[in-house]
Amino acid sequence: MQIFIIASRVLSQLKGDKRFLAISIVGPIVIIFLLKVLFDALDADLPKLPQIPVKPGMPPIQPPAITTLSFILPAAAFVIHFLCFVICAILLVQERTRGTLERMLISGFRRTSIIGGYTVGYFGLATLQSIIVVTEVLWLFKLDLSFTSIFLLFLVIWLLAIVSVMMGIFISTFARHEGHVFPFIPLLILPSIFLTGVIVSPDKLPVWAEFIGKLFPLRYANNIIKELMKPEYAMVDLIPDYLILVGYILALLFLASRTMKETE
């Protein structure tokens, strides 16, 4: 099977590049740790914040109501989302710039196998990153969740990681060199952070902004995460959001196999 030939080559490459592997594992660990430091500082600081003076008659300005619990998991999800996307996009673009993509195609590999192979290859890395990040968050922030919730949490982050890998593959098909990936980064980050529930709940946004947020997969991952944080939730309510994430994976797989160019 071509997919597995490519996937195993991708894994051997990851194994061969220990530094890269270390960075992609240590990176999220450090970011989550920094978030913990940030929240501890915020918790200590919040009561002491000076009142911001306002004109008489105006309502007082409230500090943003970000609580650790409502922020940390969406933030962790975002970290995974972003890293998987960038890593995968850059590595696939490198195949193009280094000529190995062309060589693969002329050697008889099919486009769908290349995309599938990359996805399967990064399954491993994405799974590892998801496990590590979920474990670290639960431990650092002492979240008390049931076993089912932990499993569902892991599942959503893992699916999100795969969506991100697919997005990376999809975007890379438009890029001729690494530089072409960079403009997509703010395009992905900014709406994802502001409009999908990492900072504010999307239902507080104007309709148009909420609509844009709905185009980003992080929105559906956050829906699930928010539910899981509630003391009680019904599993059936989560199913549509899980299905949408799966839908993203399939749609991106299909789109990428269409947009990947075989010839110049």
Q: Is 259 in the site for another protein (CB under 8 A)?
A: no
Q: Is 255 in the site for another protein (CB under 8 A)?
A: no
Annotate each residue in 108-127 with x if it binds another protein (CB under 8 A) or - if it does not, as one string: xx------------------
Q: Is 12 in the site for another protein (CB under 8 A)?
A: yes
Query: Whose Cβ is closer to another protein: residue 201's or residue 261's?
Result: 261
Rule CB under 8 A: choose which of 58, 106, 207, 236 binds another protein. Answer: 106
Q: Is 5 in the site for another protein (CB under 8 A)?
A: yes
Number of residues in contact with another protein under rule CB under 8 A:
21
Q: Which two tokens stand for residue 12?
A: 């051997």
State the nearest-atom distance from the C-beta of 205 to another protein, in Å: 43
Rule CB under 8 A: choose which of 51, 62, 146, 263 binds another protein. Answer: 263
Among 26, 7, 69, 78, which Cα is nearest to 222's? 78
State the nearest-atom distance from the C-beta of 183 to another protein, in Å: 21
Query: Whose Cβ is closer to another protein: residue 51's or residue 107's?
Result: 107
